Amino acid sequence: MALATALLPYQVAWINDGALMKLGDKSRRTGWTYVEAYDAVSKRYRPHNNVNRDYWFSSADESAGLEFIEYCRFFAKNLFEKVADVVTEELIDTETRRSATALVIRCPNGKKIVAMTSNPRRFRSKGGDVCLDEFAFHDDPRGMFDAASPVTMWGGSIRIFSTPNGEGSYYNTLVQNCRKVLRALGVTDLSDRSTFPPLVEIQNQARAMNVGPVFSYHRVTIEDAIAQGIVEKINQQTGGTMSRAEFLQSCRDKSRDEDAFNQEYMCEPSTDASAWLPYALIESCEHDDCPQAGEALTGYDDGLCDVGVDVGRTHDRTTIFVLENVGDVRWLRQLLVFQNMSLPDQQRELVALLQRINLRRCCIDATGIGLGLSEFTQDALGSSRIEGVHFTAPVKEDLAVTMKQAFEDKTVRITPNDATLREDLHSVRKTVTTAGNIRFEGEKNKDGHADRFWGLALALHAGKNPSVPFEFTPGPPLRFGPTRPVRGRW
């Protein structure tokens, strides 16, 4: 079995990297455990590469440890024609005195390859090489790292590899440390190790930035693995005929959503744990009776309506949410999204819409360019029903809290299966600045800047403290704002 033909390029790069601290940031099922087993066996079975150290493999569950040991047996037999007997050993927890079972292979040089499950105390009094498999999913990753590091003090190495497990995991902290230092050194493609500076330069930069620990970093997404031949290898093993594009699409189709695909296959941790509105919460309020964006008023029965308008112009969108009050539930009856539409045209569309419904209150983002739209709409329909809302930090916090409460109480119903709406609602994060101030912000992307989140939040805010209900009558004749700038507003 020739190494060049049996393994893919990124696997060869992992083996050939002699760094004492290595981190593999990887897609699911890209053969990392397989190649680590090859390396562990090769270093202890080859006469000219006889590593005189024990090897300690720790996995998040027993099945992963068994898989690793079976790979080791395979390589011992097929590469070195040695039968690797697996025995079980009892490991005693020095604090609780409880025992646990480890799987052990005795190597020809007298050293051991040991696979055990995750428990920091099992590394006490050990020495040699350490591998922490699927590190992000260990119960106590910080404790594991603290206990495992001293094991390598007498020349051993530590290898960590994992699929991400959320932005808040300790594993993601290690990954971000590596990325931060590499980017400071001008690296733009984290999957192309040929552009990385020497490890000593990376480590010096990390010390200068007071960032650590920093590993020799390997990153392989499913797209990287596909480009390097994993689909052809799978087809060869299974007898399949899937193309690269078909394989990638199958990975997407098997994923719950884009966030899950990014975490499982693209080395990007899930944002769900830090999102103000988790996916499950959003989906629990989706209903088939709500319209898709751009559709006409749907299911409207002349009930009192609250409207929210987040104002944009070019990159950011203007979003208009119409919520009808049915009992204690606010139902989405219309969602309009405007892009690259002049503000006078936006006002015409908005006023015409507001005159068609039994409007209780409309809250409009009056920050920046929204001020003009808010004031001219007040002129057209009256300030008792139209409220301009200035997006200060306390106001945004109140809007976000009201929004979350509505979703948790299931008092809002929104469009189902609208990926753009779902991602927009999910994009907002609560952060705390170094000064202790709370912020709610969403990242800018091709679909805007959390515009749908704030449009819906304003509509829910409109129903939070509504004006005294009034009898529904047609509004006054339309009055449109000027098409030229007035006092710099438009």
Query: What is the mean predicted confidence (pLDDT) over 375-379?
Result: 92
Alpha-carbon span 110 to 106, nearest angstrom: 6
Where is average pLDDT lowest: 190-204, 277-291, 345-359, 424-438?
A: 424-438
Residue position matching structure tokens 């040699």: 128
Query: What is the mean predicted confidence (pLDDT) over 193-220?
Result: 95
Q: How far is CA 322 from CA 42, 245, 357, 365, in A?
A: 66, 41, 9, 15
At what angle are helices 141-148 and 170-184 packed, to 10 degrees? 70
* pLDDT value, residue 93: 59
Q: Which helix (H) or strand (E) holds 198?
A: none
* pLDDT value, residue 92: 60
The alpha helices in 382-450, defined as continuous H runs, are 393-408, 419-426
Selected residue with higher pLDDT from 117 and 164: 164
- What contacts 320, CB < 8 A, 6 or more positions away? 307, 308, 309, 334, 335, 336, 337, 338, 350, 353, 455
The percent helix, strand, coil of the chain (3-state, each to 5) is 40, 20, 40
Per residue in 104-132, pLDDT (tens digit) is 999 998 999 999 877 766 677 789 999 99
* pLDDT value, residue 485: 34
Q: How far is CA 397 from CA 292, 381, 410, 438, 439, in A?
A: 28, 28, 20, 8, 7
At what angle are helices 451-462 and 393-408 packed, to 10 degrees? 80
As beta bridge partners, residue 479 has: none
Neighbours of 417 (CB within 10 A): 10
Per residue in 172-186, pLDDT (tens digit) is 889 999 999 999 999
Query: What is the mean predicted confidence (pLDDT) over 90-116?
Result: 79
pLDDT at 489 over 80: no
Percent of the chain with pLDDT over 90: 65
How many CA atoms does the CB half-sphere of 137 hold within 13 Å? Answer: 16
Looking at residue 84, its amino acid is A
Alpha-carbon span 225 to 239, nearest angstrom: 19
Nearest to 14 by CA among 115, 118, 160, 187: 160
* pLDDT value, residue 435: 66
Q: How far is CA 370 from CA 240, 310, 375, in A?
A: 56, 8, 9
* pLDDT value, residue 280: 85
Secondary structure (3-state) at 322: strand
Q: What is the pTM of this model?
A: 0.63
How many CA atoms does the CB half-sphere of 405 hold within 13 Å? Answer: 10
Per residue in 50-88, pLDDT (tens digit) is 788 999 999 988 888 999 999 999 999 999 999 899 998
Q: Are 228 and 8 in contact (CB under 8 A)?
A: yes
Where is average pLDDT lowest: 235-244, 385-394, 427-436?
A: 427-436
Exposure string (b/e) for 44-59, b if CB count within 10 Å is 16 or more?
A: bbeeeeebebbbbbbb
Query: What is the mean predicted confidence (pLDDT) over 419-445?
Result: 79
Alpha-carbon span 104 to 480, nearest angstrom: 80
- What contacts 350, CB < 8 A, 6 or more positions away? 309, 320, 373, 377
The top-scoring range by mean pLDDT among 321-335, 359-373, 469-483 is 321-335
Per residue in 439-470, pLDDT (tens digit) is 888 766 666 678 999 999 999 999 986 543 43
Q: Which domains does the chain have, with CATH numbers?
A: 3-226 (3.40.50.300), 279-462 (3.30.420.240)
